[in-house]
């Protein structure tokens, strides 16, 4: 079990930088990884690979392996979307870069509509504030961060939430798929996202199924595995088994469930903190604030699935 690993020799395969919705530069993230003893990291910015080249250079300097990666949003319909992680991709692939440029433009158009929706709902936010905050790909935490940290929104937030919420709480209530200010956008289908990753030489992994395919009914976790089977038929290579829920107990239950499912379906098992260092999204780098740790053996298993030389 990954969570029983000691701190020595652990990794983090799901992190973000300022090129999407992270708080650190690529160099800053690699330096932090070195400071806490990580052996390897994967930078998986949303629809963006701009951090990879810089991180690879810094990683070589500090002795940290950097796995070229990405996190693609894939839409099924207005109520269902998935995040597909691509590992060991060729970040210079022309087809990939062309698609990412399109996705980023679509994100910007969607964000303008969401800002308008938030204004109609009584929140103070301007699109230029979002553009100023986002150094690369615009994502939900940028909008949420502005809302919850703007004094003009405090009264309304406290009235609705009982207190000023975290960015994560605001995202779930207002920005997530189907939420109050949600707007769909043109994006890849799951099959298109998986194929794009494969064409770029990568391994396609479903991110955080402990959230996307898991509901909380009272104190009970309810798993929906039907989509895993569909995604596997589309070419999915793995699932992010070692990810977190709100607490240790629920996290352990999710890990146990998805470990068994991955073994049954012969899927590679990956894991990561979804570190942002921005707002309240994800956990600390390397799960430094949580019981869970990801051993280097997870990276070796992932590496064995790469279909081209890395």
What Cα–Cα distance (Å) separates residue 93 from each residue in 88, 150, 199? Answer: 12, 40, 8
Hey, what CATH topology would domain 2-94+190-303 get? TIM Barrel (3.20.20)
Backbone region of residue 126 per phi and psi (left: phi > 0; alpha: psi in -120 to 50; beta: other values): beta
pLDDT of residue 80: 80
Asked whether the beta carbons of 115 and 138 are under 8 A apart, the reply is: no
CATH 3.20.20.140 placement within the chain: 2-94+190-303
Question: Is residue 41 pLDDT above 90, yes or no?
Answer: yes
pLDDT of residue 309: 47
Question: Is residue 10 pLDDT above 90, yes or no?
Answer: yes
Which residues does residue 124 pair with via DSSP β-bridges, in sequence order? Answer: none
Share of the chain above pLDDT 70, in %: 95
Question: Is residue 6 pLDDT above 70, yes or no?
Answer: no
Q: What is the pLDDT of residues 224-262, one digit of tens each?
A: 999 999 999 999 999 999 999 989 999 999 999 999 999
Q: What is the pLDDT of residues 150-209, one digit of tens each?
A: 999 999 999 999 999 988 889 989 998 889 999 887 778 999 999 999 999 999 999 999
pLDDT of residue 7: 41
pLDDT of residue 279: 66
Question: Is residue 148 pLDDT above 50, yes or no?
Answer: yes
Question: Is residue 291 pLDDT above 60, yes or no?
Answer: yes
pLDDT of residue 8: 53
Residue 28 and residue 255: Cα distance in Å, rounded?
A: 30
Instruction: Decide: helix, strand or coil at residue 215.
Output: strand
Average pLDDT over residues 97-103: 93
Question: Is residue 1 pLDDT above 50, yes or no?
Answer: no
pLDDT of residue 3: 42
- What's the farthest any 2 CA atoms get from each other in the chain? 56
Mean pLDDT taken over the chain: 91
pLDDT of residue 255: 97
């Amino acid at each position: 079990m990954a969570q029983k690993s000691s701190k020595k020799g652990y990794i983090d395969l799901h992190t973000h930088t300022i090129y999407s919705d992270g708080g650190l530069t690529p160099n800053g993230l690699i330096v932090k990884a070195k400071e806490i003893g990580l052996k390897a990291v994967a930078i998986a910015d949303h629809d963006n690979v701009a951090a990879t080249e810089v991180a690879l250079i810094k990683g070589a300097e500090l002795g940290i392996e950097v796995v070229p990666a990405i996190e693609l949003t894939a839409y099924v319909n207005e109520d269902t979307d998935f995040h597909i992680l691509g590992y060991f991709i060729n970040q210079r692939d022309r087809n990939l870069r062309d698609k990412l440029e399109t996705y980023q433009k679509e994100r910007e158009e969607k964000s303008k509509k969401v800002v308008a929706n938030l204004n109609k709902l009584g929140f103070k936010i301007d699109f230029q504030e979002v553009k100023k905050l986002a150094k690369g790909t615009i994502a939900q935490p940028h909008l949420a961060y502005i809302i919850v940290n703007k004094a003009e929104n405090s009264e309304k937030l406290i009235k609705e939430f009982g207190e000023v919420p975290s960015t994560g709480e605001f995202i779930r209530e207002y920005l997530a798929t189907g939420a109050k200010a949600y707007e769909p956008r043109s994006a890849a289908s799951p099959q298109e996202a998986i194929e794009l990753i494969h064409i770029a030489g990568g391994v396609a992994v479903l991110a955080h199924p402990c959230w996307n395919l898991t509901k909380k009914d009272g104190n009970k976790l309810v798993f929906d595995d039907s989509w895993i089977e569909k995604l596997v038929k589309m070419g999915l290579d793995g699932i992010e088994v070692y990810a977190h829920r709100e607490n240790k107990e629920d996290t352990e239950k999710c890990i146990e469930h998805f470990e068994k499912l991955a073994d049954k379906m012969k899927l590679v098992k990956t894991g990561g903190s979804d570190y942002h260092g921005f707002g309240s999204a994800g956990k600390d780098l390397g799960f430094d604030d949580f019981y869970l740790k990801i051993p280097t053996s997870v990276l070796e298993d992932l590496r064995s699935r790469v279909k081209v030389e890395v």
